[in-house]
C-alpha cells in the first residue's frame, strides 16, 4: 500500500539529497533521488513530482527555473505555478500618476511573470 510521507520527512530527504549531490538539475531526477531517500525509511512511501515541487518552492531551494513564454495574459493567474502560493500584482506608477499592472510575483519561491504568462518547464534545485 502506498504511504504519504509527512512534509517534515520530505524536507529531511530533500536536505540529505542536496547535501550529497549539491545541485540537481531536473525535477524528474530530483524526485527519483528524494524518493529513494524516503524509501530507505519505508518502502511504501510515494511522492508526486507536483508535491515535491511545491515543498521545494516553499523551502526556497529552487535554484533556477527555465521558462517558456506564453502569449496568454497573466492577469487571471491566482496561484504560483511553481509552489501554489498566492501571487501578488507588481504595480508601476505611470508618469501621469495612474497605476499600471506590470506582472505578478510569488513572494515564497521568487517566481515572477510579466503581463504574459511565463510557464516553468525545467527546474534545478540547490541550497542558495
**Shortest distance in whole angstroms from residue 55 CB to Zn ion:** 12
**Shortest distance in whole angstroms from residue 84 CB to Zn ion:** 7
- From CA 94, how far away is CA 23, in angstroms rounded? 41
**Shortest distance in whole angstroms from residue 11 CB to Zn ion:** 16
Residue 108 sits in the site that holds Zn ion (CB under 5 A): yes
> Beta-carbon neighbour count of residue 49 at 10 Å?
14
Residue 13 sits in the site that holds Zn ion (CB under 5 A): no
Cβ atoms 67, 118 nearer than 8 A: yes
Cβ atoms 106, 80 nearer than 8 A: yes
Cβ atoms 23, 125 nearer than 8 A: yes
Cβ atoms 79, 58 nearer than 8 A: no
Residue 34 sits in the site that holds Zn ion (CB under 5 A): no
Choice from 106, 118, 120, 123 touching Zn ion (CB under 5 A): 106
Choice from 13, 83, 113, 120 touching Zn ion (CB under 5 A): 83
48: phi then psi, degrees, rounded to nearest 5: -80, 155
Choice from 5, 52, 109, 123 touching Zn ion (CB under 5 A): 109
Q: Which residues bind Zn ion (CB under 5 A)?
A: 57, 80, 82-83, 85, 106, 108-109, 111
Amino acid at each position: 500500500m502506498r504511504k504519504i510521507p509527512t512534509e517534515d520527512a520530505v524536507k529531511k530527504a530533500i536536505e540529505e539529497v542536496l547535501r550529497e549531490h549539491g545541485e540537481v538539475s531536473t525535477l524528474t531526477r530530483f524526485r527519483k533521488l528524494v524518493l529513494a531517500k524516503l524509501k530507505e525509511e519505508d518502502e511504501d512511501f510515494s511522492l508526486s513530482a507536483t508535491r515535491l515541487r511545491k515543498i521545494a518552492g516553499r523551502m526556497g531551494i529552487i535554484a533556477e527555473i527555465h521558462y517558456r513564454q506564453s502569449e496568454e495574459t497573466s492577469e487571471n493567474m491566482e496561484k504560483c505555478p511553481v509552489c501554489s502560493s498566492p501571487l501578488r500584482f507588481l504595480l508601476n506608477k505611470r508618469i501621469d500618476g495612474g497605476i499600471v499592472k506590470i506582472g505578478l510575483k510569488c513572494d515564497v519561491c521568487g517566481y515572477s511573470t510579466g503581463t504574459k504568462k511565463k510557464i516553468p518547464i525545467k527546474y534545478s534545485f540547490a541550497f542558495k
